[in-house]
């Protein structure tokens, strides 16, 4: 992977993710020349903490310099090491996440994001075979091992500002990947820290939300919000975009345009598959995707679901039989 460009008072740390080749790396950013703001905290992979600590020291910084940690969203690969960092320095470093994602990182509820009854119900509705559900359950059980909970996470909102002597980070709420996903814009160096909202080498997943009843908007639609959020950052004057995974980005508008084309093509594939015959969604996976890794059946269903929500809103698809399993059909 191409090295990150040198930016004053920024230490970019890329931690390899063995077994997750689609993501390449988990990226952590230490911002500031004195007290540091750490953006994301990587998953609890073997050796990840040592890599984080070592690269900080190579950049002339130290874990004890960390003043706060900001999570771009509440997924385990972005907050997993925060508790270990706190333990190492011996003090409760303040940790921030958007209010909509706070439940994902807390001690009481962080494991609820793992595959539970809501996931089981969805898999029954799409008619996924039991052996495939077992693979997903196994995959999700591994995720729970990649993090420790944060007992006292603090919430942030759109427009909040975090400042140091030589940086100013503005919070930009960009829901879609999760309801609480945020980007952080450093106004002095013109760097956008994009988490999983913008990634260079893959199109980020607006994940289907299983628990809409706990959100501020119970009618929340992931893909619809993701497209709105892309427009929100499209015009930002960013020299660089530093993402949560993989390489940095220089041409943000061009990349966003490619995302929009990808999602429109995906919608057309789903509509075309349902036009052939009304059926449960598991049975259109092979027509929608050229390839799905063995343990990524949930991500495939999630992507179909978020596109289907827009097709239904546009009047191009409808629920034919609520089931279970549920049957959908194309209109027009």
Q: Does some domain include residue 81?
A: yes
Q: What is the CATH number of the domain that holds 283?
A: 1.10.10.10
Domain annotation covers residue 67: yes
Beta strands of the chain (E only): which ranges?
10-16, 25-31, 36-39, 66-70, 95-98, 154-156, 161-164, 167-173, 182-186, 191-195, 240-243, 317-321, 327-330
Residue 3 domain-assigned? no
pLDDT of res. 6: 95
How confident is the prediction along the chain (332 residues), in pLDDT tens digits per residue? 889 999 999 999 999 987 766 889 999 999 999 899 999 999 999 999 999 999 999 989 999 999 999 999 999 999 999 999 999 999 999 999 999 999 999 866 655 555 667 888 899 999 999 999 888 888 877 777 888 899 899 999 999 999 999 999 999 999 999 999 999 999 999 999 999 999 999 999 999 998 888 899 999 999 999 999 999 999 999 999 999 999 999 999 999 999 999 999 999 999 999 999 999 999 999 999 999 887 788 899 999 999 999 999 999 999 999 989 999 999 98
**Domain check: are 36 and 107 in the same one?**
yes
Q: Output the pLDDT for position 295.
A: 78
Residues 140 and 275 in one domain: no
Task: Verify that 246 and 263 share a domain, yes or no.
Answer: no
Question: Please, is 202 exposed, middle or buried when counting C-beta atoms within 10 Å of its C-beta (0-12, 13-18, 19+)?
Answer: middle
Are 246 and 294 found together in one domain?
Answer: no
Examine the domain organization and report whether 160 and 263 are in the same domain: no
Quick check: is 4 in a domain?
Answer: no
Q: Are residues 103 and 224 in the same domain?
A: yes
Which pLDDT belongs to residue 306? Answer: 97
Residue where a domain stops, chosen among 225, 252, 279? 252
Task: Annotate 22-74 with DSSP letters as a single string.
Answer: TT-EEEEEEE-SSSEEEE------TTHHHHHHHHHHHTT--GGGEEEEE-SSS
Indicate whether 1 belongs to any domain. no
The conformation of residue 153, written as its DSSP 8-state character, comes to P
| pLDDT score, position 111 | 56
CA distances from 274 to 127, 247, 289, 290 (A): 15, 36, 14, 17
* Shared-domain flag, residues 116 and 15: yes
pLDDT of residue 21: 67
Does residue 317 sit within a domain? yes
Domain contains 162: yes
pLDDT reported for residue 44: 93
pTM for this model (two decimals): 0.95
Assess whether 194 and 265 both reside in one domain.
no
Indicate the number of domains in the chain. Answer: 2
3-state secondary structure 199-226: CCCCCCCCCCCCCHHHCCCCCCCHHHHH
Q: What is the pLDDT of residue 108?
A: 65
Token duo for residue 282: 């598991």
Tokens 């030589």, residue located:
166
Are residues 308 and 228 part of one domain? no
Choose one of 252, 282, 309: the last residue of a domain.
252
C-alpha dist (Å) from residue 84 to 72, 80, 90, 110, 303:
18, 8, 10, 16, 33
Identify the DSSP state of 251.
-
Are residues 181 and 71 both part of a single domain? yes
Sign of CA pseudo-dihedral 254, 266, 287, 197: positive
DSSP state of 162: E
User: Residue 71 is part of which domain span?
Assistant: 10-252
DSSP state of 115: S
């Amino acid at each position: 992977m191409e090295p990150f460009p040198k930016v004053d008072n920024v230490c970019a740390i890329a931690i390899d993710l063995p077994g997750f080749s689609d993501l390449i790396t988990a990226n952590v950013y230490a911002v500031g020349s004195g007290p540091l703001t750490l953006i994301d905290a990587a998953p609890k992979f073997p050796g990840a903490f040592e890599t984080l600590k070592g690269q900080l020291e190579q950049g002339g910084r130290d874990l004890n310099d960390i003043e706060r940690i900001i999570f771009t969203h509440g997924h385990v690969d972005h907050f997993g090491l925060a508790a270990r960092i706190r333990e190492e320095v011996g003090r409760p470093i303040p940790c921030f996440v958007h209010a909509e994602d706070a439940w994902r990182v807390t001690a009481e509820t962080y494991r609820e994001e793992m595959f539970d009854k809501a996931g089981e119900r969805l898999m029954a509705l799409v008619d996924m075979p039991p052996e495939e559900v077992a693979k997903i359950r196994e995959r999700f059980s591994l995720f729970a091992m990649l993090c420790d909970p944060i007992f006292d996470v603090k919430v942030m909102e759109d427009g909040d500002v975090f400042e140091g002597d030589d940086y100013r980070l503005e919070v930009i709420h960009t829901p879609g990947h999760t309801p609480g996903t945020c980007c952080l814009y450093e106004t002095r160096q013109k760097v956008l820290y994009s988490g999983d909202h913008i990634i260079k080498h893959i199109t980020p997943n607006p994940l289907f939300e299983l628990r809409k009843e706990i959100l501020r908007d119970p009618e929340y639609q992931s893909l619809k919000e993701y497209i709105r959020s892309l427009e929100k950052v499209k015009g930002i004057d960013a020299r660089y975009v530093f993402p949560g995974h993989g390489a940095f980005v220089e041409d943000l508008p061009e990349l966003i345009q490619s995302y929009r084309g990808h999602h429109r093509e995906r919608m057309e594939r789903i509509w075309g598959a349902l036009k052939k015959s009304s059926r449960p969604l598991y049975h259109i996976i092979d027509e929608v995707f050229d390839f799905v890794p063995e343990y990524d059946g949930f991500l495939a269903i999630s992507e179909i679901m978020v596109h289907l929500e827009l097709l239904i809103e546009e009047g191009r698809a409808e629920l034919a039989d609520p089931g279970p399993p549920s049957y959908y059909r194309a209109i027009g």
